[in-house]
Amino acid sequence: MERAGSGVPCLEWPFHLPWIDAIAKLKRERGAVIMAHSYQSPEIFHGVADITGDSLALAQAAATVDSDVVVMCGVHFMAETAKILAPQRTVLIPDPEAGCSLASSITAEDVRALRARHPGAPVVTYVNTSAAVKAESDACCTSANALQVVESMGADKVIFLPDQFLGRHVASMTSVQLVLWEGRCEVHERFTAQQARHARARFDARVIAHPECPPEVLEEADFVGSTTAMGRWLERERPARVALITECSMGDNLRTRFPDIEFVKPCNLCPHMKRITLPGIFDCLRDLRHRVEIDAETSRRARAALERMLAVGRRERV
């Protein structure tokens, strides 16, 4: 309760606490570790998770985890990534229908077609994609190292998939020609420049935005960066007020870390992340259900792309 702070209304705790206790008991019995993305609700992020962070942090943890069972509190591509990097572990996802608009925007066949149209151009794929798409890629990236991964390919032209807004942001910082796809994050694409200007004018707030937002939003921001970089920027700058232009639960989870900062709207909820609930986590641990399985060849090829991402690591400047 102390860690979650005001992110969870006090009236909800009588409902959450029995589930948290029951999950803690099951974790010990199963030898399980629970990973939670920063967009998970505070009762999950602070209440039951052992490892938390952005997509890169969770991937790095998955590559070294030594628990028998991994429960991924995030969306499906994150659970697939954990399974690819820890193939010997049992990887569970509380709700297999927790998807992602970016992951569903492109298929492996699309990647092969792009390669045919741009022969010789390497493919860098945002980690928000299916295992099948990763398997068709030369390297994966996250928003924390997209620029560095693109430039590490040593090519004049790179196919960058699937988020067009992240791709435009990377293209603005490099001389490498990027071939972009028309994918968008349904959470971040809805933000507008007017919302950013309103937060600054009405609340005297600093504005920080995720690079999946439209370019006109990024132009209004004081800082643009990944989920983790946003936290690092807040730690350095300590603004009185901040508009965190990303998924709502991230602001809820940061309030405890920065009690002296006032977080103001706008924010948008991810409907897929919110499919993960405490009862769902309990059920998947109790029954060891919703196991993530990937065929060996797809996993092998996707792992090579992910390992190139991990080799670059977190290079984002704050």
The two counts, helices (H) then strands (E), for the chain are: 14, 12
Contacts of 46 (CB under 8 A, 6+ apart): 3, 4, 7, 253, 256
Token couple for 293: 């399985």
pLDDT, residue 269, reads 94
Token couple for 50: 């052992």
pLDDT, residue 5, reads 64
- The pTM (predicted TM-score) of the whole model is 0.93
- The C-alpha atoms of residue 200 and residue 245 are separated, in whole angstroms, by 12
pLDDT, residue 205, reads 97
Helix axis angle, 13-30 relative to 278-287, nearest 10°?
Answer: 20
pLDDT digits (tens, 9 = 90+) for 258-288: 999 999 989 999 999 999 999 999 999 999 9
pLDDT, residue 181, reads 98
- The C-alpha atoms of residue 299 and residue 189 are separated, in whole angstroms, by 30
Residues in the chain: 318
pLDDT, residue 9, reads 73
Residue numbers in the chain where pLDDT is lower than 50: none
